[in-house]
Amino acid sequence: MKARIDFHIHSCLSPCASLEMSPRAIVARAQAARLDCIALTDHGCTKNLPAMHEACAEAGMACLYGIEATSAEEVHVLCLFDQLQPALEFGDWIYDSLLNFPNVPERFGEQPIINVDEEILGFADKLLFAAGSLSFFDLVDAVLEAGALCIPSHIDRSYSGAISQLGFLPDLPYSALEVVGSRIPEEAKKWPVVRFSDAHELKHIGRCFTEVDTESFSTEHLRTALAKLGKNKKK
Ligand SMILES: [Zn+2]
Ligand SMILES: [Zn+2]
């Protein structure tokens, strides 16, 4: 089946995202934008995934369970699971690896953990977009080892992407690379390229997505579908 996917969306838990980004509002907007499968990928924490899971289930929206992890070199990496529980466990491990830098809400923004009814259950204490303690290589290894899709974020952006932070793109078995510019960087041409919204506000959802031909939304089938994108790509 042909499907429109957007696997890079932030909820209100990310300090830089709008507080309007509740799971139900995200799902409603994604359906209005005719997306077929979405993923919540908050910085450094997966505590809003249970609410997202419920919001997607009640609306009949397919989803993956993600996190945007930050390496020690401040490279962002999308880590995407097709089951909630392993994503939560991986998320706790990533959160533990974050530098112990407390959030200052007045300066960086609130980090509310909410349920599907938008009731606040608590707040993440550490600043979620702080760097982690894992190197980029160890992080990519851990994501793939966990059976998740590994997609380095906005690799061509001037900050927080692999090329800006490392100076080059290491030759590793990524599931795909997220690109934001109109031109695909020469060094990225070896991998499938995806474009996602990186939505921090509701109006961003749908501005960018990728179309894949996939049997299902399991990570196994998606890995195959993403690899096909690579083959069809113009050299
Ligand atoms: Zn990012
Ligand atoms: Zn992001």
Q: Which ligand is nearest to the CA of 13?
A: 2
Q: Distance, CA 178 to ligand 1 centroid (Å)?
A: 10
Q: Residue 54 belongs to a domain with what CATH number?
A: 3.20.20.140
Q: Note the pLDDT tens digit of each residue in 141-162.
A: 999 999 999 999 999 999 999 9
Query: Range of 181's domain?
Result: 2-232
Task: Look at the chain and report how many structural domains it folds into.
Answer: 1
Q: Distance, CA 153 to ligand 1 centroid (Å)?
A: 6
Q: Which ligand is nearest to the CA of 8?
A: 2
Buried b / exposed e over 185-224, threshold 16 CB at 10 Å, is eeebeebbbbbbbbbbebebbbebbbebebeebebeebbe
Q: Distance, CA 211 to ligand 1 centroid (Å)?
A: 21
Specify the pTM. 0.96
Q: Note the pLDDT tens digit of each residue in 23-77.
A: 999 999 999 999 999 999 999 999 999 999 999 999 999 999 999 999 999 999 9
Q: Distance, CA 44 to ligand 2 centroid (Å)?
A: 10
